[in-house]
Structure formats: C-alpha cells, structure tokens
Structure 1
C-alpha cells in the first residue's frame, strides 16, 4: 500500500469567525494536499498571538496553559497519524480528523454513496427521475470496472482526473441497441447526477475534497421543436382511417391546447374536470414531475375532444378522459402521422407542449407568467426555454411600439 508522505498540522486564527474581538484558534490537517479544518475550541485577541511560532505570546500562567494545550493537540494528532500508518490503514485529512475526535473513521466508497442516495431520495424524487439516476449509476459502475478493474472505488480516491476520464468514457461509449453515440447533453446529464451524489457525500463529510471543484458542465442549447399554425392546421384536418392513429392524433392536439405532458394527460379522469360560475370547464390536477398544482381552462377544441371520448369503450371503466396508451407507441405513431401529413419536423409528444407554449399562447399575447402557471413550472426561466418568442409576435410588438412612438 502507498502511504501519504506529505503530512502536516498547522495552527492558525480563523478571522472569518471573529466575534467580540476574539478570534477562534483552528488547526489545519493536510495530507497530500487535502485539508481538514478543526476548531480547537479556543479564542483569543489577535494581539496575543505569535504568528511566527503559532502560539500564545508571553510566559504568564494562562499563556503557558494554552500553549501546553496546543502542544498536546499536535502530539495527539501525530499519534493518530502514526497509529494509522503502522496499522497500514488508509490515511486522509478527514480520516485523521475523525480519529482525533473519536468518530467513525470508515472509508466510504462509491457503492456506499449510491446506496445511501437511492435509499434517502426514493421518496423525494419521482420514479422516472430515480430511473435516470440508476441509469447513470450503471454507467459509473461500468466506468470503474473498465478503468480500475474493480467493482468499487473509495470516495477519497476521486479527483479531477476521475471526472474527466468518466466524461471521456461516456462520450466514447458505444450502445449495444443502436449505433448512435451518446450526445453531449446526455453525457453532461450523467455527470450532473454523479455531481449531486458527490455533493451529498461532501456535505456529510464522507469526502474532504470536492473533485468537481474545477470541472464545468457544458450543456448545449438546442432548438425546441414546435408546430406553427399551418402545421397544426394540417394535423387537425387529417382524418385517420385507423383507430390507433385517430386516438394518438387527438391526444396530441389536446396537449397542444392544454400544455399537458404525456404522463399527466394519461392520468386524467373525469373527476379532474370542474366548472366555474361562468360555466368554464377547468382541469384541476397535479404535475407528476414537480407535484405542482395545475389549473387549466379548457379551450373549445380541447373540450370537443373530451366530449368525443366520453363514451369510448376504453375510457368508460375507469372514467379516463382518453384511452390509455404507452409513450413509446405514441411517439412511434406520431412519426407515422407526421409523414402522412407532410410535416418534416421530428414529431414527439413533447412537441405538443412546446406548441402550446409558443403557437397557442405566447403568439396570441398570453403573458409568459400565465403560460408558466399553465405549464406548471416552478421557475419562469424554465418557461423561457419552452416558450420562444415567435417572429410573428416580435413583428406585432414592434408595430405596437411604432404606433406609440408616432
């Protein structure tokens, strides 16, 4: 086993925590460049501190007592270091600190933080999000096995090189089910999930140094597809002969006029509908992804589709608004529909949500704050990603400005 050779302990005044003109005395343990700070539970006025010799000035009984305490601390830390060294145990700044404090000096591994994260977060994160984490965790395990020829690695072994090497592994990874390599943004998402788990370990002091300190994720901004008014009309005018295509077309258009995601739409039942004093029909539900409340007034075209499926045999039993179908089949059928309608854009169900944000709402003067509420976003910045300002609206806004200036 390789032992750390660069080990030191220094005593210093932590001026960041000065209080009532008294500065706390801290110790800094350094092992191979990694640091761990430790409060010595003492505070003094700066004028009594000997910067050169790192001790209290003077020979008075109180100064001698405090200096003896500091020397005893150095001796105890050295004893801890020597004990770990001769027992051939791993040595790090955080391990030394914990040993001195009499705390658990367990050396945590990647498997430990993955298990802890999954246990703690399974009730806080949506199951789809947890599924993404488990995919990222599988990539981490494959990387460790390939690079280190082992199934696990200690967290104190992680460094900047580990992160960069993991990024390279992701970018060069060749999937078995298709030939397309991993995109930049997909690789960055896996790294972001690793970062969140390592941050959790860092907060719990399972790891002393953050290996992500100098690493920056690089997410590429991509154009979000949406249907313009002409394309949406093409889709609405299409009359499928097959029932499966008719259902997919209808739920897609319903999403274009409500902004609902596929998973939220599939859970809708008649009990989610309610009318106000003006006889306006509303949808009252919650987003699966964020648990945010959704209150969406139904536009006439959306209401017509609800009425169309009211007595459909696949909705009656559970009082669903629409027949249940998988997201995978939906997207496959949407490609077929796009080809028939002559729409060249890659049509996925999420395009409907983008269409609602742009063509249906923003393009017709609905304020972005209202659009954000309708989409169930927790941050306005998220809406700005979905809802790009269309050229037509820019021209309309400029005409209004011209009239005001004239």
Structure 2
C-alpha cells in the first residue's frame, strides 16, 4: 500500500517468500549499459564516451576485488559507506586526482540511477554523498609561447606531426575528436571568398564554422599527401588522444614551455590568444 501498488493474494505470497526482492548485480548492469552505448556509437555517443564508461566499469570491478574479493555484488548491497570507500580507493590505491575521481564516481552513479529507474532498488546510495571539485585555473598559451612552439625545430617526425596538429587546433578551435575526423569535404569557401571549416561538432552536434587562417592552411598543405590522410580520407594524420597528449609533454620540454600542453589547451588558446590577435569573426 505504501508503494502505491495494487494488492492481491499472489503479490502477498511473493512478498512473504522474498521473491519481490531484486537480485540484479552491479557489474552485469554496468556491462549492459556499456553495450548499449557501444551500439549507439557514433550516432548518439562518441567512441571516447564508450571508452570512458569501460574505464569506469573496470575501476568498480577492481575495487570489488580489492575490497571484498568478489567479482560482483547486488545493487541492494550498495550504501553510503560503499561509495565513500570507493572514493577513497580511487584517490589512494589508484592515485587518481580528486576531479577525475569524481568523474568516475559520476559514471558509476549513472548506473545506480538506471537501477532505480528500473525498480531494481528504491534507495539511492548516493543521496548523502557530496563531492566537491577542485577549482583549476586553465590558462591558454600566450602569444609568445605559441610562437616558440611553431618555430622550434623538431627533428623527430612523430613529434613534429603532433606539434602541427596541436598548432592547427590552436588556429581553428577544433576539439580532438573533430580534428581527428576532419575531412576535406568539411572545408568550403564562404561568402567572403575565403576557405572555412563548416561542419558540426561530434560531441554536441552544434554547427562549427571558422575561417582558416594562413597558419592552418599551411599545415593542411603540408600533409595533403600523407599516407595516413590518404588512407583515412582525412585532412591531418591524427594519432590517439592519449598518445598525442603524451608526446605534447615531451614537446613542451623541448620547447622550454612550462605550462602543460594537451589537446584541451589548444581550444582555450584559440578562444583567446588566437582570436584576439587575428580579429577572427565567426559565421
């Protein structure tokens, strides 16, 4: 009656016998969710999103093994203490930063909320959990730092290629996944007679129209006959995001740039340093 359900003899019998208690398990539901996400790549989700959920699932599975010596547990066994212990495990055993820890917990919370929506459990174990993100000041490259990065001679081909892709992002504002998928068909001549990138962002589906500055055009020309570009029919030879960020750290050391380089910094550099210095106007 309290749950607003109709009462009949069979429901009473099932309740007394314990048949109404769901024994659904966390890792099984996590796997089901991730399989559904994968099936919707690239229509509704990016491959990066799927990989992130797979990583989050792996962390939960490893925590269960580390803390309890099990591979799975029922949703009804989750509680506030479990969530706090999981947070502590990620920060200590896994040595993951606070903000990244909260992202993995958020991924896990989605699975728990899914279980609530499916009436697997009725109580939210996250109800009293409050995570606070650390405020991080993310500054773009200065005009001088960008100039040093562009002009510094890099004799190793893989480093020079990663540098060029990063610089291209700085002059176009494209996110990693968008520059990875950029095709020549996305480059069109605008009403002003100049070449523009006219496409949609994969993450949001929103239109992305930006003029191609001379620096970006030179990089496109440099890689027009690159084997990887010809094979994938893309504008630039972009490697995996993880490898690219790893090489960018090496490039920063070689160029004497103290601030950390990553693909996100390129978008911030475009949004401030490049647009302000080049009077970029958007369609």
TM-score computed with the length of structure 2 as normaliser: 0.85
**2:46 equivalent to 1:126:** yes
2:185 to 260, 266, 271: 271
Quickly say closer, same or farther: Cα 1:347–1:208, change in 2 above 3 A. same
Matches within 5 A, 1:309-388: 309-312=223-226, 315-316=229-230, 319-361=233-275
**2:92 equivalent to 1:172:** yes
TM-score computed with the length of structure 1 as normaliser: 0.61
Shift in Å, 1:366: 7.0
Q: Which has the higher contact order (CA 8 A, sep 6+)?
A: 2
Quickly say closer, same or farther: Cα 1:304–1:149, change in 2 above 3 A. closer
Matches within 5 A, 1:65-104: 73=7, 79-81=13-15, 83-84=16-17, 89=18, 95=20
- Cross-structure match for 1:116: 32
Shift in Å, 1:164: 1.3
Shift in Å, 1:132: 1.4
* Aligned-pair Cα RMSD in Å: 2.9
The Cα offsets for residues 173-202 of structure 1, whole Å up to 9 and x where unpaired, read as 14xxxxxx2111121111111111110110
- Cross-structure match for 1:14: none
Query: Does the aligned pair in 2 maintain the 1:110–1:155 contact within 8 Å?
Result: yes
Q: Which has the higher strand share?
A: 1
User: Structure 1: how far apart are the matches of 2:139 and 2:152?
Assistant: 20
2:163 to 234, 245, 249: 249
User: Structure 1: how far apart are the matches of 2:12 and 2:180?
Assistant: 64
How many residues get paired?
Answer: 279
User: Structure 1: how far apart are the matches of 2:24 and 2:247?
Assistant: 48
Shift in Å, 1:106: 4.2
Structure 1: gaps (5+ residues): 1-26, 29-36, 41-72, 96-104, 175-180, 375-406
Query: Does the aligned pair in 2 maintain the 1:192–1:217 contact within 8 Å?
Result: no
Quickly say closer, same or farther: Cα 1:121–1:307, change in 2 above 3 A. closer
**2:199 equivalent to 1:285:** yes
Structure 2: gaps (5+ residues): none
Query: Does the aligned pair in 1 maintain the 2:80–2:128 contact within 8 Å?
Result: yes
